Structure 1
């Protein structure tokens, strides 16, 4: 069984996910994991599909030929390496340019691997100040967790870090 990682982007319109799922199903693919979004008028998605070796090329060709949708497809090996600790970090701070770079750099330099990042901007309830909020899934060795949190909190006085294990 092959695993394909598919990233797609195109103008958002009704029926895109239905179209993608039909193409995958028609080629006996199994939709595994996905993250799909509407961003400034565009559909953007990342999908992992398991498909037999004999259907892989036909599936790739069919996905690449969907009109008005740009799909990049990579053949991947399922990740079987496990870290000692899998953390969920919830980050809140005043929004500013470069905050994602600051956070990702600290995670990298402390030996963590950023598995998933979902971020947003919201207005603070009482001040109207634009706030950065993020939820990050991190794979890291247990003995490095305290140093990671300490380093994240040193990025800025206003950065709050909540951890779930």
Structure 2
């Protein structure tokens, strides 16, 4: 089996995920994982699949024929197991430019790897101003305490709320 990582972007429309999953299935592929979103009228997704080596060429051709989508396929030549030292972080605050830059720069300075990131902006109930929320899964070095990370992130701005919790089902050492 070949392990493939696929990025997909195109105008969002009904049945798009069905077409992707049907293409994987028609080429004896196994859908391993995905993250898909609707952003500004566009469908944006990334997925992992296993496809038999004999089907890879035909699978690539079939994917390239999916109408209205820009698709990029990479072969993962060395399967990397997920990290075991994950920590979930939620950052919430009044929306303003630079929050993601400030937080990711601070995390990078501490030697922390961002394993997953999801963000959203929405109106605050009863207030009407936008609230920004970012959900991270972080791979924190064993030598670094969560309290140290929390203190550094809280020093970025008074209006940021920093919440840590261990992800369910993941053993943290």
TM over 0.5: yes
Q: Which moved more, 1:25-34 or 1:72-81?
A: 72-81
Equivalent position of 1:39 in the other structure? 39
TM normalised by structure 1 equals: 0.92
Post-superposition CA distance 1:82-122 (Å, at most 9, x none): 35x21000111111111111111111221111111111112
Please show how residues 116-155 of structure 1 align to structure 2 within 5 Å: 116-144=116-144, 145-155=146-156
Equivalent position of 2:15 in the other structure? 15
Equivalent position of 2:158 in the other structure? 157
Q: Which moved more, 1:53-62 or 1:128-137?
A: 53-62
Residue 59 of structure 1: SS of its match in structure 2?
A: helix
Shift of 1:19: 0.7
Please show how residues 109-120 of structure 1 align to structure 2 within 5 Å: 109-120=109-120
Distance between the aligned counterparts of 1:56 and 1:107, measured in 2? 38
**Structure 2, gaps ≥5 residues long:** 167-173
Equivalent position of 1:80 in the other structure? 81
TM normalised by structure 2 equals: 0.88
CA-based RMSD of the aligned residues comes to 1.4
Shift of 1:147: 2.5
Shift of 1:132: 0.6
Query: What number of residue pairs does the alignment pair up?
Result: 164
Post-superposition CA distance 1:9-50 (Å, at most 9, x none): 111111111111111111111001111111121111111101
Distance between the aligned counterparts of 2:39 and 2:83, measured in 1? 32
Equivalent position of 2:101 in the other structure? 101
Shift of 1:81: 6.0
Residue 131 of structure 1: SS of its match in structure 2?
A: strand
Judge conservation of contact 1:110–1:147 (CA < 8 Å) in 2.
no
Residue 89 of structure 2: SS of its match in structure 1?
A: strand
**Structure 1, gaps ≥5 residues long:** none
Residue 151 of structure 1: SS of its match in structure 2?
A: helix
Shift of 1:57: 2.1
